[in-house]
Amino acid sequence: MHLSGTLHPPGGATALIAVMGGPSIAELGFLYALVPAATGALVMLAAALLCNNLAPARRYPEYWW
């Protein structure tokens, strides 16, 4: 994306909101950056576990079962 001069929309929006958000966003500090990232990672993990374990022949991750 750096080579093409484009932005990943959520990444660009998060940075833009951090800059233009005003005092309420500034009060959150680093928590503003961590909460969306952590929430997104947990949602993607839950979706991966659900989708990969729907088929009876597939198990992900194997060591949890």
pLDDT of residue 63: 64
CA pseudo-torsion sign 63, 42, 46, 51: negative
CA pseudo-torsion sign 40, 32, 19, 21: positive
What's CA 31's distance to the chain center, in Å? 14
pLDDT of residue 43: 92
6-62: per-residue pLDDT in tens?
767 776 777 788 888 888 888 888 888 788 778 888 998 899 888 877 877 776 666
